[in-house]
Amino acid sequence: MIALAKIQFSRFQFKARHLLGFLISIYFFSCSGVEPIQEINGQAWGTTYSIKIVDQPDFSLDIKLIQSSIDSIILNIDKQMSTYRLDSEISLFNDIPLNENVNISAGFAEVINRSTYWSKFTSGAFDISILPLVLVWRKGKNLVDNNRVWKPPEDQDIIETMSKIGYEKIKLDGRRLIKTIKGQMLDVNAIAKGWGVDEVFEYLKSQKLSNFMVEIGGEVRALGLNNKASSWKIGIDKPSENNQPGVDIVAIISLDDKAMATSGNYRNFFEFDGEKYSHIIDPRNGRSTQSSVVSVSVLGPNCMDADVLATALSVLSLNEGKSLIDSLDNFEAYWIIKDISGNFETIYSMKMPVINEL
């Protein structure tokens, strides 16, 4: 625990397992000196989670029971939406032939329906049908003569793969998910973690807890106040390639019964012949995104939607992203831009609760 002007914080880091994922570090600020905090830590979807609960007078916490329930929620979501489990609902769908279907859980169906909503709203900048493109970029150009150096995929490979992409081609009939295109595959990585944060949040709220914070792999949602009766606070990392998580932050954001998600490409990219290719793929053209936006954090009423928008804003240009956020109620964003000289600039929407820029 590192002390800073009477504020205590700890840092968390996770490794993204998906090419559309992101790598961030988040600070948790919780002032000590009034009420103690109960902390629960564990593993979730190839990353970690951390729950901080402020003790309530005359309220007994069964930490073991709470952690067991949280782990059950995480396992249930893993069984539904993990592309790394061969027996998950999403993997079963990805493997079935054309015109076949799988029955999916209510939670997975809700995630798909919400994904479709945001795909329409962002004009395709967010699209969970993107997995075939992710795999093409992960593989790169076919390797020759045992040369294991990654190379960007051929244009023809991208064009052929684009025929499998399109949120409007996803067909969900109640809870029957139907494959409408040969090779159609889904990846909900850019929304499922936010959904998971919300599910854990709602569980804790159902337990009559009123002051807590949920963090899974850098996605955060908070309720109430920390243990010194002030809002929970989060630090945003400076997006430098060699910057270790938590070493250098650019801003502190205040969470007031809100969620926040961050997307960035500065620690996760492909490289060939001196050129870098972002791991974030634009579903609209199949290309690696080329943008001055290196990190974007979205504040919103829930983590699922914030998660989606953080990804979409990483695909959209800065002007497009600003217009999108300005059109939405209850959402704010914080962009970090890198100019041609390699210098960083920060831009944020009018009501983003920035309490300190360092």
DSSP string, 242-263: TPPTTTSEEEEEEESS-EEEEE
Report whether 173 contacts 40 (CB < 8 A). no
Whether the CB-CB separation of 20 and 280 falls below 8 Å is answered with yes
Predicted confidence (pLDDT) per residue in 123-141, tens digit = 999 999 999 999 999 888 7
Query: Any residues with CB less than 8 A from the CB of 243 and at least 6 apart, and which?
Result: 237
Beta-strand relationship, 219-223 and 232-237: unpaired
Tell me what pLDDT residue 277 has.
Answer: 74
pLDDT for the residue 271 = 77
Residue ranges with strand state E in the chain: 2-4, 7-13, 25-29, 37-44, 47-54, 101-103, 171-173, 176-178, 212-216, 219-223, 232-237, 249-255, 259-264, 269-272, 275-278, 293-300, 332-338, 344-348, 354-357
Give the C-alpha separation, 95 to 86, whole Å. Answer: 9
pLDDT at 18: 35
Q: What is the CA radius of gyration of the chain?
A: 20
Q: What burial class does residue 52 get, using C-beta atoms within 10 Å of its C-beta: 0-12 exposed, 13-18 middle, 19+ buried? A: buried
Cα separations (Å) of 129 from 40, 95, 173? 34, 14, 17
Token output for 235: 């630090």
Distance of CA 188 to the CA centre of its chain: 10
Q: Are 104 and 89 in contact (CB under 8 A)?
A: yes
Check: CB of residue 158 under 8 Å from CB of residue 286: yes
Q: How many CB atoms lie within 10 A of CB 358?
A: 10
pLDDT given for residue 25 in this prediction: 43
C-alpha closest to that of 105 among 132, 78, 67, 131: 78
pLDDT at position 267 is 59
> How much is the pTM?
0.88
**Other residues' Cβ atoms within 10 Å of the Cβ of residue 141:** 14
| pLDDT, block means (10 residues), the chain with 358 residues | 26 30 42 74 94 88 95 97 96 98 98 98 97 92 64 93 97 98 97 97 96 95 93 87 70 96 76 78 92 92 98 95 97 92 90 84
Domains and CATH numbers, the chain: 81-189 (1.10.3980.10)
Strand partners, 85: none
**303 three-state secondary structure:** helix
- pLDDT at position 269 is 67
- Choose among 192, 126, 308, 341: nearest CA to 333: 308
